Amino acid sequence: MKFALAVALIVLGLAGLTVPPQWGGAGLSAVEVCVVLEELGRALTMSPYLSVALAVEALVQSGDEKACSDTLPAVSDGSAIVCAVMSDDGGFWNRGNVGVVAENDALGWRLDGVVSGAIDTWSADTLLMLAQTPDGFGVFLVDTTAPGLTRERLDSLDLTREMSRLSFTRVPARRVIVGSGFNSYLTRVSSFALAAYVAEMAGVARKCMEMSVDYAKDRQQFGRPIGSFQAIKHKCAQMLVSVESIDGALWKVSRLAASNSSEFALFAAIAKAYASEQCFKVASDNIQIHGGIGFTWEHDAHLYFRRAKALQILGGDPSVQRAWIAGQIGFPFKLIGPGRDQWT
């Protein structure tokens, strides 16, 4: 996995797209990262690029120049892989659901606890994660070879993405100093994660549409292509509407991220809520158009369906996003239970 990432992504300079030039990167924006993530989602590429991109964003936004200078050059030149552990199964940094506690003793910071549902950690050299400290919450860098850290592979819905449970027992860690406004920092990083998930969904949805249209042209029934039947035509047409709408939402939110707009967090939540539903619908219709073959292990339709559902959950499903949006615009509504509204 690590070798494949180095050859396919790092040699192309993609891992360092948003790393500032002083640390060996290209100094580009979220727009370029979303282009890469869309294509990776379209191909269901089994690489940790998503987690690497989130880790880079979290480090750069922290303003900790020492941590950045010690970590990001290795990410840019391909000698190390740093992956963000976006809290628990929810897939975003949620202060109401942090399973790791950090304490500072004579030997430095130590982490204890468990994180379930961490993605891409098996190929990582370093983890970037959130933990609860005596004085609040903090962001920490952890060497994956550190004593006390164990990783257990988990079976997951998405067969094309690694998932694991991390257990920490007095694991040494380095705290990343967040310059100012920890709440706004968490919002920025979590919103960037939502934009990244939307980018992958845009690729997944487009590939499902292309698979369906190609199959509808080739599959013959009653002496004619099934694409000539009205029911199939309508499904394919609706797929196109959904795909283009997801793309429009993606490029809107990626440009807001690139410009550091104050509207970024709100539009990221809106885009994630909409794209989650539409991508899953397109992936479901792809299986229907393929008929029985769409349910078999010999065809890729089920893999795209699994990725679409997993991405719908990561970062909070549409109900979580809408609850948070309602709170932002002053609507008197609050989601019951753990959700994104708890870290605003």
Q: Give the model confidence (pLDDT) of 179-219 as tens digits.
A: 878 889 999 999 999 999 999 999 999 999 999 999 999 99
Look at residue 327 in the predicted model and tell me its pLDDT.
Answer: 85
Look at residue 88 in the predicted model and tell me its pLDDT.
Answer: 56
- Residue 118 CA to residue 86 CA, distance in Å, equals 7
Average pLDDT, the chain: 89
At residue 240, does pLDDT exceed 80?
yes
Q: How many domains does the chain have?
A: 1
- The pLDDT tens digits for 85-139 are 986 555 566 655 678 999 998 889 999 999 988 888 888 999 999 999 998 889 9
| Residue among 124, 44, 40, 134 nearest 85 (CA) | 124
Residue 244 lies in a domain: yes
Residue 11 — very low, low, confident or very high, per pLDDT cuts 50/70/90? low
Alpha carbon 52 to chain centroid, angstroms: 10
At residue 51, does pLDDT exceed 70?
yes
Residue 64 lies in a domain: no
Residue 247 lies in a domain: yes
- The pLDDT tens digits for 27-42 are 999 999 999 999 999 9
Q: Which amino acid is at 88?
A: D
Look at residue 334 in the predicted model and tell me its pLDDT.
Answer: 56
Residue 9 lies in a domain: no
pTM score over 0.85:
yes
The pLDDT of 255-261, averaged and rounded, is 96
Residue 93 lies in a domain: no
Per-residue DSSP letter, 337: S
- Residue 261 CA to residue 255 CA, distance in Å, equals 9
- At residue 342, the 3 state secondary structure works out as helix
- Residue 149 CA to residue 55 CA, distance in Å, equals 19
Q: Between 47 and 261, whose confidence is greater? A: 261
Check which CATH number belongs to the domain holding 302 and give it. 1.20.140.10
Percentage of residues of the chain with pLDDT beyond 70: 90
At residue 248, does pLDDT exceed 80?
yes
Residue 340 — very low, low, confident or very high, per pLDDT cuts 50/70/90? very low
Residue 115 lies in a domain: no
Residue 236 lies in a domain: yes
Look at residue 328 in the predicted model and tell me its pLDDT.
Answer: 85
- The pLDDT tens digits for 276-314 are 999 999 999 999 999 878 778 889 999 999 999 999 999
Range of the domain at 300: 183-343
- The pLDDT tens digits for 150-188 are 999 999 899 999 899 999 999 999 999 998 788 899 999
- At residue 112, the 3 state secondary structure works out as strand
The pLDDT of 2-20, averaged and rounded, is 71
Is 336 buried (19+), middle (13-18) or exposed (0-12) by CB count in 10 A? exposed
Residue 268 — very low, low, confident or very high, per pLDDT cuts 50/70/90? very high
Residue 338 — very low, low, confident or very high, per pLDDT cuts 50/70/90? very low
Lookup result for tokens 């249209």: 213
Look at residue 251 in the predicted model and tell me its pLDDT.
Answer: 95
At residue 23, does pLDDT exceed 90?
yes
The pLDDT of 49-66, averaged and rounded, is 95
Residue 39 lies in a domain: no
140 contacts: CB under 8 Å, gap ≥ 6? 102, 109, 111, 128, 129, 130, 131, 173, 174, 175, 176
8 Å CB contact between 272 and 322? no
